[in-house]
Structure 1
Amino acid sequence: MTHSPSKRIFVAAMATETNTFSPIVIDRRAFEESFYAGPGAHPSTATLCTAPIPVGRKVCAEQGWTLIEGSSAWADPAGLVSGQTHQDLRDEILDQLRAALPVDAVVLGLHGAMVAQGCMDPEGDLLARVREIVGPDVLVCAELDPHSHLTAKRVAAADFFVVFKEFPHTDFVERAEDLWAMVVETLNGRMTPVMSTYDCRMIDVFPTSREPMRSFVDRMIGLEKTDPKVLSISAIHGFMAGDVPEMGTHMIVVTDGDAAHGAALAEKLGQELFANRGKHMMPQMDERAAVAAAMVPHDGPVVLADMWDNPGGGTAGDATVLLRELMTQGAKGAAIGTIWDPIAVKLCMAAGEGAVMPLRFGAKSAPMTGDPVDALVKVVTLSKNAEMIFGESVVPFGPAARIALLDADGVEIGIEVILNTVRAQSYDPSLFAVMGIDPLAQKILVIKSTNHFYAAFAPIASEILYCAAGKPYPNDPATNPYRFVRDDIWPRVENPFAKDA
């Protein structure tokens, strides 16, 4: 292999997803509990938004380039990031960048939906400061989560973005590889990336596990392969729980020096998305109908998704609405993973495995999450550091306790619950297996996730039911009590493009 002249590239990551309606403030400890690695300490496997770091190691080794690694931090979604935590993480990365100068490129792993106390656009703030440090001629790019906000400040500061295409996000490593491939071609003088964007003026949810989004993403991938001017196509879904002025759906097209072609294609694809507005979301059931449907005999476990109590969307993950309905309808062979309750876990830890005890748990975080459950329980399994897998990542959710609910005579009623300390959505059946529950042996698996669970649970599920139980998450953009989101966006208005006619 013929190497190009040696280059110096700085890479770092700062990411979380902020539900501005969530009461759970993210501090430095929240990042450290989920994922934090100092310079050079990132493991060989990626953690969602940090994929540019391990992928960059391989690429720079192949090219004979120098990779200078900064810090990487990821916090599981919640509410606002504390102002001090945001400033400390940002300034840590900026100081590392200054120490690394001169550099030929800056490659970042960002989520794109972070909101901090006193700063509505932390990623835009970081990118603008990076650009100020390195000047106008150094390549600046980033990988983003599609559930992000594409602000004008970010677009102005970066040369290009590459965004996960899949929801569930099974492709974050592949998209980091795409990002780095463009970095290599650009620094070697073989392409000139130009980013064009289009505002779709809509708020929606776009699971790629079903139509019409599945075909749309396949077309994006096809156009990247067949259109010689196109380098990358991305859809920014937006994040409806982020009450910020520039929230909403956008298209990104990166071309090789042809901004007009990119703009025309971005508009064409964006209008296709808009034409399908309201058709992307998976069908939903209320808790009564969902539990009744799940209790019909099936050949294998029914996966019941508590889709709006999703810690991956910033909620606490402690709603009890579905559990109550399972108890009311007398369900048996059901396992719930998880209900977030650090205090209940501590009490179970103190009692020990095998203990039978009265326990109050769940529904402590916010309104519309149900009521706390008071039950006689048996502590079945305890873990000081429970983890599940998500693609190539490892996701912590412990300390954790597996409890079995008992009747007044101390007999198990057929419902087990995993209580966790570190909030995390239900990505994978290993969530149950690590606590000693065989997911294949259950009749009903209740998980807390909107759609990230799909790739891992679909192969074992006899049926998947999406349940809208309570309203711990602001899931209706037409009526959500936004303060900052603009009014000229669907579904807040029927046709936001009318004024352009």
Structure 2
Amino acid sequence: MNIFVAGLMMETNSFSAIPCTRRAFEGAMFYRPEVLGPQPEPQAYEQFGYRTFLRLAKERGYGAYASLHAFAEPAAPCRQEDYESLRDEILHDLRRSMPVDMVFLMLHGAQMAHGYDDCEGDIIERVREIVGPDVFIGVELDLHGNISEKMLETSNALVACLLYPHTDFDERGEQLFELGERFARGEIRTRNYYQRVPMLGIYYTTLPRMAAVNDAAREVQQRDGVFSVSLMHGFPWANQPDTGAGVVIVADPDCAEAPDLAVALGRRFFAARDETRNLRRPIDDILDEIESSPEAGLFVIADVADNPGGGAGSDSTFILRRLLERNIQPAVLGMIWDPVAVDFAFEAGVGNRLTMRLGGKTGPFSGAPVDADVTVVALSTDIAQEDPAGDLTFALGRAALLDVGGVRVVANSIRQQVFDPCCFTAFGVDLSTVRVAVVKSTQHFHELFHPLAKKVFYCETPGALTLDFDPRRYGRLQRPMWPFDGDAAPA
């Protein structure tokens, strides 16, 4: 058999001030095989589920045609011509690869572009037009995707990761690949069943109630005629009609109980809606608890509302300002995306002092900049983080460790969330001697920071990813929707 593999991943924040163009993909993760298969190049194995599909094809002796795989950091909707050029490269490669028996796409689920609310649905529909009605189209998604009717109708199987942090892309990709093989051999037929869950939020699968919902989803997967279950958390900062959570069950078209199973899971999912939201606390409450604690150890504060992994600017100053005002030491904070400040630090050099305006540049959700006398502690151009699954590395670019009134702040030139303690330790910071570490991330930091922490706090600020949603900004949602409407609940 022959398979075709491609990927295009970007999570779109309708309210982000950060533009997205083709350069955003080319500067983050952009893989283009020099030759269009029949065998994948070895370096193609290094990226999300895309890697999994190619690995399994090689193990089974299938011909594998590897097309574009591109990823951009979350931001505003992509420029139309740039999205269309990336999509059309994939479609061009698919036409050249025909005939194929299976198509596997690594998509996000919440990508928007100017003129397109539903980039995933657009891509899958155009792939279907090329391959015809009988070829398997399997799509692996991030659980923060928003599901459209077009995605459900034009694919054979939508399978998302179940864990947040997303450490199970490989496992779920293997599950999707097996479905594709069984379909292509004529052993099964598939249908996507969907139950909408009308809620906006973030849901950590490391917490007890959400872990129990995931366990229930895995139990449903063991039912006769059910092949896969995905809990779609949705991406709540997308202002479009399909935004919200849901349950996707891939099952036999004759599985009569699939719709009822989706409804039951949806209700259980909805019942856990407050669990993560209730973790978020104001910064002064958190600092009061830390200061009153007699125990030694590292306290980690997640600056969840300024997570660049959701489209925020990663330059808000709300927490930094309170650390300085309350003289909380020893403390570290990372990473502030401020290429101008980084340039000044490199010009000044290690050990030198300068007056600097730090952060607060990308918009009102970033707060006011901090003006301070700063000492340049260290500089680097070669630090890279590993993602929680250990699959990818993300270079920080030009980065500086700055002493800002006793708080050591990492500023860098490539906007990205904190995954890995190396963004501090590579500068020589010994986290065992630090009282407070502030990380600009919502949850992907948890895998590597939690083992180091006495306690982890989630801090709510007026940042771009606040869970204090303003209904006036959401003019295109389907209503009712929790938390705006008291009568919102799964059907």
Q: What is the TM-score with the length of structure 2 in the denominator? A: 0.94
What is the distance in 1 between the residues matched to 2:84 and 2:409?
A: 38
Moved more, 108-117 or 188-197: 188-197
Matched position secondary structure for 2:257: helix
What is the distance in 2 between the residues matched to 1:294 and 1:441?
A: 15
- Counterpart in the other structure of 1:114: 111
Q: Does 1:229 align with 2:225?
A: yes
- Counterpart in the other structure of 1:31: 25
The residue type paired with residue 454 of structure 1 is: H
Q: State whether residues 474 and 480 of structure 1, in contact with CA within 8 Å, keep that contact through their aligned partners in structure 2.
A: no
- Counterpart in the other structure of 2:401: 402
What is the distance in 2 between the residues matched to 1:435 and 1:43?
A: 29
Q: State whether residues 11 and 52 of structure 1, in contact with CA within 8 Å, keep that contact through their aligned partners in structure 2.
A: no
- Counterpart in the other structure of 1:20: 14
- Counterpart in the other structure of 2:37: none
Matched position secondary structure for 1:97: helix
Moved more, 172-181 or 21-30: 172-181
Q: State whether residues 144 and 161 of structure 1, in contact with CA within 8 Å, keep that contact through their aligned partners in structure 2.
A: yes
- Counterpart in the other structure of 2:373: 376
The residue type paired with residue 24 of structure 1 is: I
Given candidates 128, 131, 139, the residue that maps to 1:131 is 128
What is the distance in 1 between the residues matched to 2:440 and 2:278?
A: 15
Q: What is the 5 A alignment of 1:196-235?
A: 196-224=193-221, 226-235=222-231
Q: What is the 5 A alignment of 1:237-386?
A: 237-295=233-291, 296-386=293-383
RMSD over aligned Cα atoms: 1.8
Q: State whether residues 194 and 258 of structure 1, in contact with CA within 8 Å, keep that contact through their aligned partners in structure 2.
A: no
- Counterpart in the other structure of 1:476: 468
Matched position secondary structure for 2:266: helix
Q: State whether residues 78 and 314 of structure 1, in contact with CA within 8 Å, keep that contact through their aligned partners in structure 2.
A: yes
Shift of 1:8: 1.0
Q: Judging changes above 3 Å, is the alpha-carbon distance between structure 1 residues 363 and 483 closer, same or farther for their aligned structure 2 residues?
A: same
The residue type paired with residue 18 of structure 2 is: I
Q: State whether residues 381 and 399 of structure 2, in contact with CA within 8 Å, keep that contact through their aligned partners in structure 1.
A: yes
The residue type paired with residue 215 of structure 1 is: A
The residue type paired with residue 456 of structure 1 is: L
Shift of 1:89: 0.7
Q: Does 1:427 align with 2:419?
A: yes
What is the distance in 2 between the residues matched to 1:42 and 1:155?
A: 32
Q: State whether residues 194 and 255 of structure 1, in contact with CA within 8 Å, keep that contact through their aligned partners in structure 2.
A: yes
Q: State whether residues 209 and 454 of structure 1, in contact with CA within 8 Å, keep that contact through their aligned partners in structure 2.
A: no
Q: Does 1:451 align with 2:443?
A: yes
Shift of 1:280: 4.2
Q: State whether residues 388 and 434 of structure 1, in contact with CA within 8 Å, keep that contact through their aligned partners in structure 2.
A: no
- 1:325-356 CA-to-partner distances (Å, cap 9, x unmatched) read 00011111101011110111111122222222
- Counterpart in the other structure of 2:152: 155
- 1:71-108 CA-to-partner distances (Å, cap 9, x unmatched) read 00001111111112101111111111111111111100
Q: What is the 5 A alignment of 1:139-150?
A: 139-150=136-147
Moved more, 265-274 or 233-242: 265-274
The residue type paired with residue 204 of structure 1 is: G
Q: State whether residues 193 and 258 of structure 2, in contact with CA within 8 Å, keep that contact through their aligned partners in structure 1.
A: yes
Shift of 1:452: 1.6
Q: State whether residues 31 and 74 of structure 1, in contact with CA within 8 Å, keep that contact through their aligned partners in structure 2.
A: yes
What is the distance in 2 between the residues matched to 1:478 and 1:315?
A: 16
The residue type paired with residue 19 of structure 1 is: N
Shift of 1:450: 1.3
Moved more, 352-361 or 107-116: 352-361
- 1:227-276 CA-to-partner distances (Å, cap 9, x unmatched) read 23221110111111011111011101112343422212111111222233
Q: State whether residues 277 and 467 of structure 2, in contact with CA within 8 Å, keep that contact through their aligned partners in structure 1.
A: no
Shift of 1:167: 1.1
Q: Does 1:56 align with 2:53?
A: yes
The residue type paired with residue 283 of structure 1 is: L
Q: Name structure 2 gaps, 5 residues minimum.
A: 34-39
The residue type paired with residue 246 of structure 1 is: D
What is the distance in 2 between the residues matched to 1:41 and 1:78?
A: 30
The residue type paired with residue 78 of structure 1 is: A
Q: Name structure 1 gaps, 5 residues minimum.
A: 1-6, 407-412
Matched position secondary structure for 1:496: coil
Q: State whether residues 387 and 434 of structure 1, in contact with CA within 8 Å, keep that contact through their aligned partners in structure 2.
A: no
Aligned residue pairs, count = 482
- Counterpart in the other structure of 1:94: 91
What is the distance in 2 between the residues matched to 1:130 and 1:313?
A: 28
- Counterpart in the other structure of 1:3: none
What is the distance in 1 between the residues matched to 2:273 and 2:49?
A: 32
State percent identity of aligned pairs: 34
What is the distance in 2 between the residues matched to 1:221 and 1:79?
A: 34
Shift of 1:489: 2.0
Q: Judging changes above 3 Å, is the alpha-carbon distance between structure 1 residues 258 and 439 closer, same or farther for their aligned structure 2 residues?
A: farther
Moved more, 193-202 or 340-349: 193-202
Q: State whether residues 385 and 419 of structure 2, in contact with CA within 8 Å, keep that contact through their aligned partners in structure 1.
A: yes
Q: What is the TM-score with the length of structure 1 in the denominator? A: 0.92
What is the distance in 2 between the residues matched to 1:297 and 1:437?
A: 23
Q: State whether residues 316 and 463 of structure 2, in contact with CA within 8 Å, keep that contact through their aligned partners in structure 1.
A: no
What is the distance in 2 between the residues matched to 1:63 and 1:121?
A: 34
The residue type paired with residue 400 of structure 1 is: A
Q: State whether residues 282 and 466 of structure 1, in contact with CA within 8 Å, keep that contact through their aligned partners in structure 2.
A: no
Shift of 1:173: 1.7
What is the distance in 2 between the residues matched to 1:449 and 1:25?
A: 20
Moved more, 197-206 or 67-76: 197-206
Matched position secondary structure for 1:43: helix
The residue type paired with residue 15 of structure 1 is: M
Shift of 1:32: 1.6
Q: Does 1:488 align with 2:480?
A: yes
The residue type paired with residue 43 of structure 2 is: P
What is the distance in 2 between the residues matched to 1:315 and 1:397?
A: 17
Q: State whether residues 24 and 80 of structure 1, in contact with CA within 8 Å, keep that contact through their aligned partners in structure 2.
A: no
What is the distance in 2 between the residues matched to 1:315 and 1:368?
A: 8
- Counterpart in the other structure of 2:385: 388
The residue type paired with residue 32 of structure 1 is: E
Given candidates 188, 193, 201, the residue that maps to 1:191 is 188
Moved more, 132-141 or 385-394: 385-394
Q: Does 1:83 align with 2:80?
A: yes
Moved more, 433-442 or 374-383: 433-442
Runs of 4+ in 1 over 6 A off after TM superposition: none
What is the distance in 1 between the residues matched to 2:202 and 2:11?
A: 15
- 1:103-134 CA-to-partner distances (Å, cap 9, x unmatched) read 11110000111111121111111111111111
Matched position secondary structure for 2:279: coil
